[in-house]
Amino acid sequence: MGMRKHRYPSDVSREQFEQIRSLLESARKRTKPRTVELYEVWCAVLYLLKTGCQWRFLPSDFPRWQTVHRYFRQWSEPDQNGVSESPRLS
């Protein structure tokens, strides 16, 4: 799990990310060790939301677009009450 060479305007600080880490981690049932850093996946999602780019056009220094998309889908799935698990971006 390496660090990106570039920072993007859509990135959040690691301190900001730590405030939502547990919520993001709880949305995934761990069956095997994680191979990507959640911070990088979260920043990739923020980049997509900010730029409106297509999944396949994510810059290559983020995790693979398929990986980011899989996490996004997991975080967006509604719970038993119909509420998304993903943190609100307000």
Could you identify the residue written with the tokens 């547990």?
22
Question: Which pLDDT tens digit goes with each residue over 20-49?
Answer: 998 888 876 667 778 899 999 999 999 999
C-alpha span between 50 and 11 (Å, rounded): 10
Q: What is the pLDDT of residues 4-20, one digit of tens each?
A: 788 999 999 999 999 99
Q: What's the distance, CA 76 to chain centroid?
A: 11
Give the pLDDT confidence score for residue 86 in this predicted structure. Answer: 52
- Determine the Cα–Cα distance for residues 59 and 22; give it in Å rounded to an integer: 26
Q: How confident is the model at residue 77 (pLDDT cuts 50, 70, 90)?
A: confident
